[in-house]
């Protein structure tokens, strides 16, 4: 199977410091990859490079066999969506209008088609924010706003979703709904890549964890294989304990 993303020797400096060093891996359709690591490990930088927002790197980051930075932004946005770690909601738009922005890469005129409307309604339902449709984005709580932005990402109907801490500010039931939705999309053949600090959500829903340590890939594998391993223990120290459940999955316990 041809990979959607292929990275080789990706290195990036930010503010004179090495944010990523010699990073390489491939990502296939249908995978749900969680990017994990401590603060400053390079998770956000990695996703910004993959999304085409950050072009100042060396090495190779290809999407569908073509360097990401060589894609036209509109063409890439029709295939790859990106949810940043923090997005402000100061603009005076309703939640529905924000979700409709996810259809901009496909727009051919000023009016919204019935297809665009139906896609946005479905995206808001999947993101669990239908009840927010008529409210202004700058009046929403952080978690409500994040759910609306997630709906806008879904409305792009991409083949690959890149999400930087998508559960930020979101309460636990909606976090679980979000990760279930991502898992469902992967089961349908899409690729999801999510940076997250929630190790249990990663263990429960991701098919693969890519562990970053000081800008390098310290481990890469299925949660049940990677979390009990030496690389994970080295990165997270003695503050966590891994326990296997009856189904063979793993759970992370935080030591007091």
Low-confidence ranges of the chain (pLDDT < 70): 87-90, 109-111
Q: Give DSSP secondary structure letters for 177-240.
A: HHHHHHHHHHHTT-EEEEE-S-HHHHHHH-SEEEEEETTEEEEEE-HHHHTTSHHHHHHHGGGE
With 0.85 as the threshold, say if the pTM is over it: yes
Among candidate residues 51, 106, 55, 101, the one with its CA nearest the CA of residue 78: 106
Give the pLDDT score at 88. 65
CATH topology of domain 1-72+160-166+191-256: Rossmann fold (3.40.50)
Kindly report the length of the chain: 256
Closest by CA position to 121, among listed 91, 90, 99: 99
Instruction: Tell me how many degrees the CA angle 51-153-33 measures, rounded to the nearest 5.
Output: 60
Residue 5: strand pairing partners: 27, 63
pLDDT in the model for residue 234: 92
Do strands 66-67 and 58-63 pair parallel, antiparallel, or not at all (unpaired)?
Answer: antiparallel
Tens of pLDDT, residues 129-138:
999 999 999 9
The Cα–Cα gap between 239 and 13 comes to 30
Q: How far apart are CA 115 and CA 148, in angstroms?
A: 19
Nearest 5°: the CA angle 39, 256, 233 is: 50
Give pLDDT, residue 237.
86
Q: Say what the alpha-carbon torsion angle 168, 101, 77, 221 is, to the nearest 10 degrees.
A: 20
Domain ranges of the chain: 1-72+160-166+191-256, 80-157
Burial 87-97 (b: 16+ CB within 10 A, else e): eebeeebbbbb
């Amino acid at each position: 199977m041809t990979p959607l993303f292929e990275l080789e020797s990706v290195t990036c400096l930010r503010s004179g410091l090495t944010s990523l060093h010699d990073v390489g891996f491939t990502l296939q359709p249908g995978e749900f990859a969680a990017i994990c690591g401590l603060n400053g490990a390079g998770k956000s930088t990695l996703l910004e490079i993959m999304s085409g927002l950050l072009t100042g790197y060396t090495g190779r980051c290809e999407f569908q066999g073509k360097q990401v930075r060589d894609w036209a932004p509109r063409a890439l946005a029709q295939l790859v969506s990106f949810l940043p770690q923090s997005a402000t909601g100061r603009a005076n738009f309703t939640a529905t209008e924000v979700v409709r922005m996810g259809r901009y890469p496909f727009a051919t005129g000023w009016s919204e088609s019935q297809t665009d409307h139906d896609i946005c309604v479905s995206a808001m339902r999947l993101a669990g924010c239908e009840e927010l449709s008529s409210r202004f984005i700058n009046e929403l709580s952080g978690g409500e706003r994040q759910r609306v932005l997630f709906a806008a990402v879904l409305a792009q109907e991409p083949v690959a979703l890149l999400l930087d801490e998508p559960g930020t500010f979101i309460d636990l039931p909606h976090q679980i709904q979000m990760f279930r939705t991502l898992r469902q999309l992967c089961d349908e053949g899409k690729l999801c890549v999510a940076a997250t600090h929630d190790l249990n959500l990663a263990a429960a829903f991701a098919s693969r964890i890519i562990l970053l340590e000081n800008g390098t890939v310290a481990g890469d594998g299925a949660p049940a294989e990677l979390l009990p391993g030496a690389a994970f223990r080295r990165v997270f120290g003695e503050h966590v304990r891994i326990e296997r459940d009856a189904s063979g999955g793993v759970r992370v316990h935080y030591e007091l």
